[in-house]
Amino acid sequence: MAESKRDYYEVLGVDKNADDAALKKAYRALAKKYHPDMHPGDAEAEKKFKEASEAYAVLSDPDKRRQYDQFGHAAFDGGAGGAGGFGGFDFSGDMGDIFGDIFGDLFGGGRRRGPANGPMQGANLRASIRITFEEAITGCEKELDINLKDECATCHGTGAKPGTSPVTCPKCQGKGQIVYSQQSLFGMVQNVQTCPDCHGTGKIVKEKCPNCGGNGYTSSRKKIQVSIPAGIDNGQSIRIRGKGEPGVNGGPRGDLLVEVMVGRHASFVRQDLDIFSNVEISFAQAALGGDLRISTVDGDVIYTVKPGTQGGTRVRLKGKGVPSLRNRTQRGDHYVTLIVKVPAKLSEEAKRILREFDAVSGDSLKQQKTDAPSASGETQKGKKKGFFDKFKE
């Protein structure tokens, strides 16, 4: 029995009213995900790739889509060639353009919009900076020491020796791009790639500038001021516009992305906008209540402990947490867990007073009956029961 086909709209994951742009976007994502070159030897991935291609071939064609909406898969039973076939479907035109994009992504060529030797923004640079827990809460200013490229003062960015000029690249004829063909499941597909000789500039430097070695740029160590906003979290990055690599052919500079590494605190733990910590209190404070000094990121505060407070009680210090990056008026809270501290050593006087206290508040220390066995099997009179003693009782 032949395997039943899935609905084409279901295959692409789109609504039946999806427009051409939505169809193309959905198909391109699936084609990249399941392309056989990304999953060599994976029959299931190849099957899904073919299924998505077949669905898009039908739904992207107005006439075929109208027939499919009216008759379903029966409209193409004569030419579809079965569940995995592509008979009767044309993969030229828009499909070829999509595969050009996909193959460019898979094999590193990529597709570029507009002239290849036009102005291009420079690449982004990445750096990291370390700050303390307190600096992350309050915000701070830091100085970053980094290597930055600038236009060569000798050749003014051309890379050519003074008195000479770059020549047109013979490989791409000054276009900055080359077109190459590649065999695919659907025949030969043409793709556009940046020229490897001129790197997309369309120009070749014959005599290189002695100052920059033909690069057109020189590197120097510079200090960049970084403003750390209050509330930043560990691993978040700050973008500094125009401090990245220089642009190409007059394009703007890239950006500098600074990752912030926040150090640990000895007492505080951060979770989103809230801070958590533990504070020890004495038995007397827990039983009788009283004022307790608690450390926060804003300094010490006085909190009044209620009489009869139990160990593990959590108190909330509203607005003593982390400031929000999105809303400066919003701030998290500080949650403090109260831990009742039991003294490890007591004086004889302290022990006596505690026994008196216990006697009038439940007598939990009262000794059991004198003949009650202890954990060692002895009675509290010190006599250990023998094997025949139970018969005498």
> Locate tokens 């076939």: which residue?
85
Which pTM was predicted? 0.56
Quick one: what percent of the chain has pLDDT higher than 90?
33
Q: Which of 30-39, 144-153, 260-269 has the lowest mean pLDDT?
A: 30-39
Render pLDDT for 96-113 as a digit per residue (tens, 0 to 9): 455 555 554 444 444 444
Residue 293 or residue 206, greater confidence: 293
Radius of gyration of the chain (CA): 38
pLDDT of residue 393: 52
pLDDT, tens digit (0-9, with 9 covering 90-100), for 157-214: 888 888 888 888 888 888 888 887 766 655 666 777 888 888 777 888 888 898 888 8
